[in-house]
Amino acid sequence: MRNLPVRALGIVLGAALLCLGAVFRELPMLVLLIKPIPALVLAATIAIRATGRLRGIGTAALLCCALGDLILEGRYLAPDLGIPWFALGLSAFLIAHVLFILAFLTPPNHTRWWPAIAVGVYAALFLWVLWPKLGALTVPVLVYIAVISLMIWRALCVQGSMTRQVAIAGGALLFACSDSLIAVDRFLMPFDAARYVILTTYWLALVSLTIGLLDDASA
């Protein structure tokens, strides 16, 4: 097991707290500068400490998350430019999820069908609730839900040490929670604490996934 260094975890925690503070103080430029730091630090950690194909795949996935962080902040910095910030950010995270799927297909893993059924039911019900509100984003959101559902399923099929299984499964579920809250806030019922809860669950997801990828039993 290649533990996540305490220094890297400290930087992630510090950046997360600073970013949440900048959100509270309504400082969008500062949020833009700080928000990608956790993903970038975790990407660097994977690049340095992971081995084999997981080094490249994991690093690329986390870099795509950092890119998505930057793009999504365009909604707050330049909302009047007519740029589809949400759709572009969705694309960056879509690529990240595809890369995570490839990482989770790295042995040891085993195909379990019960998680596929559970995830599929949740995705179908959530999409049914969202459907009347999606409008022009129907196709992108449909594709995104399909891909993240596949990512969660493959995460729940990962084998290896207990640390690896719990970290990857937990990270995938936290990512799904964060994305579900984004959809609720944007399409269904905006709520004041949305950004704080979304960002917190998202960063926890990235940390958990990184711990799982560093604990690659096949390396």
Condensed to tens digits (0 to 9), the pLDDT of residues 30-43 reads 999 999 999 999 99
Task: State the Cα–Cα distance between residues 146 and 124, nearest whole angstrom.
Answer: 9
214: which residues sit within 8 A by CB, 6+ positions away? 1, 2, 3, 4, 45, 46, 49, 50
- Looking at residue 136, what DSSP letter applies? G
- Tokens 């909604």 belong to residue: 75
**pLDDT tier at 217, thresholds 50, 70, 90:** very low
First to last CA, the chain: 9
**pLDDT higher than 50, residue 1:** no
**Between these two residues, 12 and 105, which has the higher pLDDT value?**
12
Q: Model pTM?
A: 0.92
Task: State the Cα–Cα distance between residues 132 and 140, nearest whole angstrom.
Answer: 14
**pLDDT higher than 80, residue 144:** yes
Kindly report the number of other CB atoms within 10 A of residue 194's CB atom. 15
Percent of the chain whose pLDDT exceeds 70: 97
